[in-house]
């Protein structure tokens, strides 16, 4: 497989894991632990895993001039990103949270055009719009809004999270072009953990761990190991070969995988609306992930 194929496989894997995470995280909070306490546990556990991993992986020395960018990535990609998302998810329903998350590709497309001067190709714009249409339809025709104590605030926080994650994807791209992922991601989580301590420590202390069932421990472990540690590595791997807009469009697949997961558990059922939505999503992802042919590739060899 080519490097690009591996990068696309990594992006698909991230979408699959995140799609399952919506339901798993909602099962844990706020019933067993509040949102900020969960973030404290999630970021702290992942930070330990990243630093342990560097004992077995060769890393490079980070230049002092790059630490401000790393701290910015920590803020937008870890602290602010996770705090707003999990607090928002605790207030709103997973369905509405997923609706707002799919605005991320549009945000990244606009930010890339402004910050990175990336040209907005018509094919990408069409792909993003098709994916957006399919995803919104899929979610709106899913389960009714339930367990949403403050949907307005929750929806706002999830949208802020989508903007934050879009900024992170652009910030971290230059680090990926310069360093091995393990060289800087451990620092991203180190600074990110310092940033979430003031918000999550109190809620973490309030948890009576003797009352938490073993199933909740397993779900927390899944979020730390797979939804955080593994997905961040896979995202960085995909970004080494793909543009931020391409990586971001895979967010459209998360609600699709979430629906498949729910159907598998008997909590939802298949319908023609969902099938049609899935087709739109896959077409959208295909259009955005296809590389534009160069002029040389289009012109046949004259020899």
Tell whether 248 is covered by a domain: yes
pLDDT of residue 291: 64
pLDDT of residue 96: 61
Find all residues with CB under 8 Å of 45, minimum gap 6, and list them. 224, 225, 228, 229
Q: How far apart are CA 22 and CA 2, in angstroms?
A: 31
| Mean pLDDT split into 10-residue runs, the chain, 303 residues | 84 84 78 89 94 89 94 94 83 65 69 69 82 73 56 76 83 84 91 95 91 91 91 81 74 72 66 75 75 46 40
Q: What angle do CA 258, 250, 76 make, to 5 degrees?
A: 100
Tell whether 145 is covered by a domain: yes
pLDDT of residue 300: 42
If one counts the domains in the chain, the total is 1
Q: What six digits make up the tokens of 228?
A: 């955080």
Q: What six digits make up the tokens of 199?
A: 């918000």
Measure the CA dihedral 110/115/117/123, to 10°.
-20
pLDDT of residue 262: 67
Own/partner contacts of 280-283, CB < 8 Å, gap of 24 or more, are 280/130, 280/131, 280/133, 280/134, 280/137, 281/130, 281/131, 281/134, 281/135, 281/138, 281/252, 281/253, 281/256, 283/127, 283/130, 283/131, 283/134
pLDDT of residue 299: 40
**Which residues form the domain of 32?**
3-291
Tell whether 303 is covered by a domain: no
8 A C-beta contact, residue 39 and residue 204: no
pLDDT of residue 64: 92
Tell whether 268 is covered by a domain: yes
pLDDT of residue 233: 83
pLDDT of residue 270: 64
Tell whether 300 is covered by a domain: no
pLDDT of residue 301: 44
Tell whether 299 is covered by a domain: no
Tell whether 197 is covered by a domain: yes
pTM, two decimals, is 0.74
Place of tokens 């329903």: 93
Tell whether 298 is covered by a domain: no
């Amino acid at each position: 497989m080519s490097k690009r194929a591996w990068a696309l496989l990594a992006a698909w894997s991230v979408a699959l894991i995140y799609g399952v995470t919506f339901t798993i995280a909602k099962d844990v909070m706020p019933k067993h632990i509040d949102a900020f306490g969960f973030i404290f546990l999630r970021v702290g556990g992942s930070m330990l895993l990243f630093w342990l991993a560097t004992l077995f992986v060769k890393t490079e020395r980070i230049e002092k001039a790059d630490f401000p960018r790393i701290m910015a990535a920590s803020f937008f990609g870890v602290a602010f990103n996770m705090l707003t998302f999990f607090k928002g998810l605790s207030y709103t329903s997973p369905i509405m949270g997923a609706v707002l998350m799919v605005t991320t590709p549009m945000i990244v497309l606009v930010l890339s055009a402004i910050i990175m001067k990336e040209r907005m190709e018509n094919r990408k714009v069409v792909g993003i719009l098709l994916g957006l249409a399919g995803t919104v339809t899929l979610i709106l025709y899913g389960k009714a809004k339930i367990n949403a104590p403050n949907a307005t605030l929750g929806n706002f926080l999830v949208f802020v999270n989508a903007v934050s994650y879009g900024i992170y994807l652009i910030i971290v791209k230059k680090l990926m072009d310069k360093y091995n992922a393990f060289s800087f991601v451990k620092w991203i989580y180190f600074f990110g953990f310092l940033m979430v301590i003031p918000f999550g420590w109190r809620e973490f202390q309030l948890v009576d761990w003797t009352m938490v069932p073993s199933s909740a421990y397993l779900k927390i472990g899944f979020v730390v190991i797979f939804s955080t540690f593994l997905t961040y590595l896979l995202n960085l791997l995909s970004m080494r070969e793909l543009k931020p807009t391409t990586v971001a469009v895979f967010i459209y697949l998360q609600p699709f995988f979430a629906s498949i997961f729910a159907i598998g558990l008997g909590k939802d059922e298949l319908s023609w609306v969902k099938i049609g939505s899935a087709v739109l999503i896959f077409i959208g992802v295909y259009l955005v992930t296809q590389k534009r042919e160069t002029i040389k590739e289009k012109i046949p060899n004259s020899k």
